[in-house]
Amino acid sequence: MVNARRFSAHFSAWLFTAFLLSFALPCSALAQSKPLKHIYVGVSSVSMGNIIIFVAKEAKLYEKYGLYADPVAMRGSGESSKAMIGGSIQFSPIATPTVINADLSGADLVILGHTLPGVVHAMIVKPEIKRVEDLKGKKIGVTTFGSLTDFLVQFHLRKKGLNPQRDVALIQIGGDPERIGALKQGSIDAASLSFPGYGIAMKMGFPMLWNSAKEIDYPWIEITTRRSIVQKDRELVMNYMKAHLEATALFKRDREFGKKVIKKTLRLDNEELANESYDLFAKAFLPAPYPNTAGMKTSFEYVAATRPEVMEHKPEEYVDRSFVEELDKTGFIRKLYEK
């Protein structure tokens, strides 16, 4: 009986101590005890434009904000949009024209931000191709139909008076490494490539026909999700945005860590290209990536070529700026750059 009373007294004291400790522990420690929410992030191409996803993963920033993120390699925005509409992924950088086209067909994709002010892409060709007109009758490598590369190629061809459906053969060929390989093997005559892809191809002797950054006003690397996800779990979307924006700040201020992720993700062992890649993108990534509705004019014009009804809509219908706006106004973004 005495032993039972002693056990009861000890147990009560333990419970009281645990109760006090629950108040003494910082909120962050308690938050870590919550199970992480598992999400899938579509990566339309494993490239510099999407490097922030891998920075966040490497630095465990998703976990910091209560998420367990699995990056999933996709073949372009066309495939990513289908996966998101089907519920297989929750976030992805889906090209603006693809978002607009999908929503015109009844989808609920929404752009939360444009992380780059311009597109970093170039058309790389065989040496004998000197002018855009020389592409007539040629095979051009793109990621997939509906992808950014597909959009850029078709936009430039139309700008020069060529018909993308009739005057060239667009070939779907995976990522930059696959398109460079196809160019080298001679199975295609030209390829739309990002950096360092086009830098690698040029070092192999393939010239640049055009630099998309200088030819087109197009805000790039969208953060895209579904409106139904925003409505169902706004906290999840906000936490994803926090992780992405903190990863952007980390990449911009920590050169060595940034280069480490570049080399690991792109399997790049060329120090010169790693440095050039870092310099180009660290400078370009936007700290506060508001959706660029003014820059969406080009996407509207492109979509209108096949779906003129798009002109009855406004860019604001395809974006949700509230997340970046809240993180900006509350000082979250500013604090990331005070460290």
Which CATH number do you get for residue 70?
3.40.190.10
Model confidence, pTM: 0.87
For each of the chain's 339 residues, which pLDDT tens digit applies?
Answer: 444 444 344 434 443 343 333 444 444 444 456 899 999 999 999 999 999 999 999 999 999 999 999 999 999 999 999 999 999 999 999 999 999 999 999 999 999 999 999 999 999 999 999 999 999 999 999 999 989 999 999 999 999 999 999 999 999 998 999 999 999 999 999 999 999 999 999 999 999 999 999 999 999 999 999 999 999 999 999 999 999 999 999 999 999 999 999 999 999 999 999 999 999 999 999 999 999 999 999 999 999 999 999 999 999 999 999 999 999 999 999 999 996
13 inside domain: no
Sign of CA dihedral 44, 50, 55, 61: negative
Same domain, 245 and 114: yes
DSSP state of 36: P
Residue 78 parent element (H or E): helix 76-85
Residues contacting residue 57 through CB under 8 Å, at least 6 positions apart: 69, 71
Give strand pairing partners of 141.
171, 191
12 inside domain: no
31 inside domain: no
Per-residue tokens: 332: 């979250």
Same domain, 108 and 52: yes
Same domain, 230 and 290: yes
Domain that holds residue 195: 122-214
In sequence order, which ranges of 121-211 are alpha helices (DSSP H)?
148-159, 176-185, 197-203
CB–CB of 111/103 below 8 Å?
Answer: no
The total number of structural domains in the chain stands at 2
